[in-house]
Chains A and B, each alone.
Chain A
Amino acid sequence: MTVKKAQPVYDVVVIGSGAAGGMAAWNLTRQGVNVLVLDAGERFDRAKFWTHVKPWQAAARHERGQYAPEFHLSIDEQPYLTPDDKPFELIRVWGRGGKTNIWGRVALRYSDVDFEGPARDGWGVPWPIRYKDISPYYDKVDQFIGVCGGLDDQDSLPGSQYMLPAPAPRCGERLLQKAAQNAGVSIVAGRRAVLTKPHNGHPACHYCGACGSGCDVGAFFNASDYLIDPALQTGELTVVDNAVVARVLVDDKGLANGVQYFDRKTKAERRVKARVVVVGASCVDSTRILLNSKSPAYPNGIGNSSDAIGRYLCEQTRFHVYGFMPELIGGPVYDDSGIGGEHIYMPRFNHRDGRKRDYLRGFGMQFWGCGAQEGASYAKALPGFGVDFKKAVKQRYPALVALHPYGETLGRAENRITVDANNVDMYGVPRLKIEYQIGDNERRMVEEMYDTAEQILRSAKAEIMPYERGWLDKPGSAIHEHGTCRMGDDAKKSPLNAFNQMHDVKNVFVVDGSAFTTASEKNPTLTILALAWRATDYLAGEMKRGNV
């Protein structure tokens, strides 16, 4: 006699295993909550990373038909739609830890300059939280994942007493700091989630600088090693790999009661049951799932009575300007790998000292790529050829500096993600459509972003590489999507409350970048971690109190 095993009902099903889903799973399981994580891919094997493969070795390996592990989801597998005149570069990592496997590791706290933005200038809806609400969680995240940085906080860049030692700036970065200061612009130590000493059982960075290939020792935060693994050790976590979630399912009372997904290998449809659903599949994929979760109770997507889900998509504007520092041209070459990426950061300053500006919100600046790099693509922009050209390239090799301003974009209802019922993916699930473009406010801010970059380079007396003023990187390229399921106190305007809980559906929480009320100019991961921790603390409490 065979007895069909009853399908388990999990306390919580978490969609996604990156910063958002990983944090939710970790924080709930350690509090004794039984969790199922659905991840759209598999674990990335650190032993197979090409961390220590030099460019010429990579070329030779490619010739032998060998390739590095592919982190990025192929567009061929999951195409998305964009209007012809509005390109959007969507970068997704499906697999344990998601994008944290290869993220930029810039770990900046939002400040009240950010949280008070919409309340102050009236654009969009106010954030339902302030810095005081999230700062205890930033402190916990800093301590848990390990963030290196300086004790040089600013009103727009709060810090903590838990920073690991900041790596010393490279020569070019140091000279940029000095030049900026002379121009009245302050550049501080970067805040990066890289371990400059061993931390919580994870080894220290060995300064190879190859983080973009995945860290072979896990010396920077990734959600797989830092969150999912310890969560598995509690015995409360189950992970299903290759689970491409399509919809959140609801009961006849309008509460969520499970999730429908498709097995990426067999394409088979599966359903799991849970008392609570936490959505953390990254901004764009979470939005797709919510909009596809249609039912009689929620004809335009679960929890979407506000019609705000999918709207107000924010990315960030950014561009890149390069120069050569005169003090370093023709000088010695050092190993500038450091912790990979910049050791410095320019916090937002445009709100200070009664500065007049003809746009809302602000910008910061990053500086990855200063000093000797693993290549010399700048050589393409140097004139001529032959012996003199070769010499010019070599002389500039140690002197390169790179400036990357990032500007906030305003949330606009027409910048939106929709799903197209007439255009389905391989599982028969409606595909994503992204319509996004920046507006006049962004273009005006970009003027000052260019002014600032030029000001710093001129103050440095740098040889500035030719650039086209006003050029912007492709929308989506910052990989900082936010705002399509925003938090806010007014249920008519925001799908989520101050604890990332749906106003309409109390047992659904959305904890990734889609929950951000505004995008700010900052990299979102640290704030995603803090918000997800805070939201799941609240959720665990509500479950204990019997409210969810």
Chain B
Amino acid sequence: MSEKQNILNRVDSRRTALIKIATAATSAAIAPLLAETSEAEHHLHEMLEQAPAAVETGPEYFSQGDYATISRLADLIIPRTETPGAIDAGVPHWIDRQVAADLKLQGRFKEWLAELAEEAHAAGGTQFTALTEPQQIAMLQAMSGDVSKLKGGFFETMKDLTVENYYKSEAGLAQELGFKGNTFRASFPGCTHPEHWASAEHTQ
């Protein structure tokens, strides 16, 4: 087997893992790299290093059922659109790890998940994830609209954790928001819009 084929094979096997976690856009970004195998290997290695390991390892703290509920909630808060959503960005994985490392949060999540399960029951489902999407959204709307329960409550905590983890992921920060920072630049152009400069001095 030539060196090149060897690398391509490795690339291929890693791609299986990648596809689960990467969006279509990320996968497309890999293609040009394949032309330069050593570079491809290098970049792919880097990307794999950076990718959340959620898919392979599963939840560390939550039961499979609770993990599915957390995932569904994160998905409802930041859904996949033409850009990746919370699930694509590995948000449930990161929430699982954060809760695993925080005893206080564990207690609160236990209560919240039990409460949510009860409410799902009342709404006619065996559990939250068994409800229809409109039912789930209605429940979430009720949670987000209940001012008495909002501060530090389940919805706010889930939203905070989802937002924190999504917008620091490559999917959320670079792909969704378009973050281009933390790179090397020879100069910094600043604001180049004449309309922003009009009618007032730069400084006085």
Contacts and interface: CB of A to CB of B under 8 A. Distances in A.
B181 A59 contact: no
B200 A182 contact: yes
Interface of A: 52, 54-57, 59-60, 63, 150, 152, 167-171, 173-175, 177-178, 181-182, 186-189, 206-210, 327, 333-339, 343, 372-377, 379-380, 383-387, 389-390, 393-394, 397
Contacts of B199: 178
B81 A390 contact: yes
17 contacts: A55-B173, A59-B52, A59-B94, A59-B165, A152-B204, A174-B191, A177-B202, A178-B197, A182-B200, A207-B185, A208-B185, A333-B179, A372-B179, A385-B159, A386-B76, A390-B85, A393-B177
Contacts of B182: 52, 54, 208-210, 337, 374
B178 interface: yes
A413 B11 CA distance: 68
B47 to A, nearest CB: 10
Given A375-B173, A386-B77, A390-B79, A168 B191 contact: yes
Contacts, number: 162
A181 B179 contact: no
B104 interface: no
Interface string B72-101: 000011110100010000000010010000
Given A169-B202, A170-B190, A206-B186, 14 more contacts: A54-B173, A59-B168, A174-B193, A181-B200, A181-B201, A186-B203, A208-B184, A333-B179, A334-B180, A336-B181, A377-B167, A379-B167, A385-B159, A387-B81
A55 B53 contact: no
Nearest to B195: A327
A249 to B, nearest CB: 46
B153 to A, nearest CB: 13
A386 B79 contact: yes
B181 A377 contact: no
A385 B184 contact: no
Contacts of B203: 150, 152, 177, 186-189
Contacts of A173: 191
Contacts of B97: 63
B81 to A, nearest CB: 6
Q: Across the A-B interface, give the 8 residue pairs with the lowest CB-CB distance, nearest first.
A: A168-B190, A152-B203, A55-B168, A333-B178, A337-B181, A376-B167, A335-B180, A207-B185
Interface string B162-175: 01110111101110
B140 interface: yes
